[in-house]
Amino acid sequence: MTFDLQTPGRPAPEDRPGCGPLAAPAISDRRPLRQQVFECVRAAGHIARADITRALEVSPGSVTQLTAELIAAGLLREVEERPREQGRGRPPVALEVVGAARYVIGMKLAEEHHIGVLCDLAGNIRAEAELPSADRRQSVAALADEAAALARALLDASGLGADQVCGYGVGLPGIVDFDAGIVRWSPLIDSRDAPLRDALADRLQTPVQIDNDANTYTLAELWFGVGRDIPDFAVITIEQGVGMGLVLNSRLFRGGKGQGMELGHTKVQLDGALCRCGQRGCLEAYLADYALAREAATALGRPPDAALSARALLSTLAEQARAGHGPARTIFRRAGRYLAIGLANVIQLFDPNLVILSGERLDYDYLYTTDLLAEMQSQTLSGESAPTRVEIHAWGSPVWARGAAALALSALTDQLFGDWAA
């Protein structure tokens, strides 16, 4: 079994230029060829025309014509490419995306603080900002006000004007209907079926895409991380809640209504522990911050309303578990077994090439023990095939917002080339 523990706080891999999926889809591509050429350049960072021809399996004449149009439109530019071998002569010419041609903003809205990044068309971060949240459920209008304040902070940090931002991507916890732009349920919003996308678009006067935050984190892996080279992989996030993202054939899979992959709300125990969604027996009710804090209060002999945050309570519980405290160790051991069940179900259903674990709760040892992974493997019908690779990516919070920026970049790119074709 392959198992890699990354250093907590490690940023997204940036040793390779470019952004976007590098693994070619296994099915025919319906995007306009002009868009495919542009995205090929953006994924590579810089690339020669001959390499575009080989990558897309199209004629050199088509690439020459389309790249000339993209250069004239101000989306691509020519740069000198380092020669493969030292020698005389003019260095070969490559192409790269003009980052300053367009800008987008990505946001992760959360219960404790909101994080945002401003990115250019090439996917480079130009500014970062973080603001505290209301730390309670609130109206859609109030949440839109907080998002607008975060946008202003990003614009101030970048020196750009609001009219230079072409799109927003927003990730938040909860059940999000991506196609409709409606939040069916979220711990951040005090009502169900909230029309958050339209509210944000009205407030920001710019097109907005919203999605579940686990999906935006998965986009960060697909556009900037190890998922760039892997056509099929799953991401499990464990923080205040439990989320999941799934990439199939180098594309984010959301389900028929755009709100699938809610691993945290799959049932692992009939009539089990109460989940904050209102139902019982959800996986999240045994793994998330609030669930562990609920049990920690009992194990440590503290009343539920004690003046101690969930994070502080969990830190104390973890210290007690490492010191041999029986009830504390039992809580973590049980949580680990439920996580093993959840992972085994994901592997059995989708057979991904890679499973990535991420989130703040990766600080706790129970989430990356060999016993847990062995139990996960024992619950799958893998036979003699190679075990599924599992990695832990304990990255910092801006990665989530960068994935939301990828959501905005994807929508902006589709719009640019859709308008072009029209």
Task: Assess contact for 9 and 396: CB atoms under 8 A.
Answer: yes
What ranges in 323-369 are assigned the alpha helix state H?
Answer: 326-350
Tens of pLDDT, residues 9-58: 444 455 678 999 987 665 556 789 999 999 999 999 999 999 999 999 99
Is 285 exposed, middle or buried (CB count within 10 Å of its CB: 0-12, 13-18, 19+)? buried
The reported pLDDT for the residue numbered 152 is: 98
CA distance 199 to 182: 10
Q: Is 139 left (phi over 0), alpha (psi -120 to 50) or beta?
A: beta
CA distance 281 to 44: 45
CA distance 128 to 145: 18
Q: How far is CA 1 from the centre of its chain?
A: 25
List, in sequence order, every residue forming a beta bridge with 182; answer none if it has no partner.
177
DSSP code, position 268: S
Q: Which amino acid does the sequence have at 212?
A: N
Nearest to 45 by CA among 92, 95, 101: 95
The reported pLDDT for the residue numbered 332 is: 82
Locus of tokens 């579940």? 212
Q: So what CATH class is 10-99?
A: mainly alpha
What spatial distance separates the first Cα and last Cα of the chain, rounded to whole Å?
50
Task: Compute mean pLDDT per 10 residues along the chain, 422 residues long, and list them.
Answer: 41 70 71 94 95 94 97 95 60 91 97 95 97 90 97 98 97 93 94 97 97 95 93 89 90 81 87 88 86 77 60 77 82 85 90 87 61 79 75 80 97 93 66
Helix (H, G, I), strand (E, B) or coil at 274: strand
Tens of pLDDT, residues 277-295: 889 999 988 888 788 888 7
What ranges in 129-210 are assigned the alpha helix state H?
Answer: 140-158, 196-204
The reported pLDDT for the residue numbered 210 is: 97
Q: Do domains 101-219+398-421 and 228-392 have the same CATH topology?
A: yes
Nearest to 284 by CA among 360, 346, 218, 335: 335
Angle between the 33-44 and 60-72 helix axes, to the nearest 10 degrees?
Answer: 80
Q: How far is CA 331 from the centre of its chain?
A: 28
Q: So what CATH class is 228-392?
A: alpha beta
Domain 101-219+398-421: give its CATH code. 3.30.420.40
Radius of gyration of the chain from Cα atoms? 23
Locus of tokens 């101030």? 156
Cα dihedral sign for 56, 24, 229, 237? positive
Is 336 exposed, middle or buried (CB count within 10 Å of its CB: 0-12, 13-18, 19+)? buried
The reported pLDDT for the residue numbered 291 is: 83
Q: Hey, how many other C-beta atoms are within 10 angstroms of the C-beta on 202?
A: 13
CA distance 234 to 248: 9
The reported pLDDT for the residue numbered 27 is: 58
Domain residue ranges of the chain, discontinuous segments joined by +: 10-99, 101-219+398-421, 228-392
DSSP code, position 75: S
For 366, list phi and psi in degrees, rounded to 5: -65, -15
The reported pLDDT for the residue numbered 122 is: 97
Residue 399 corresponds to which tokens in the numbers above? 């990665």
Cα dihedral sign for 111, 117, 121, 122? negative
Task: Assess contact for 310 and 295: CB atoms under 8 A.
Answer: no
How many residues appear in the chain?
422
The reported pLDDT for the residue numbered 4 is: 43
DSSP code, position 393: -
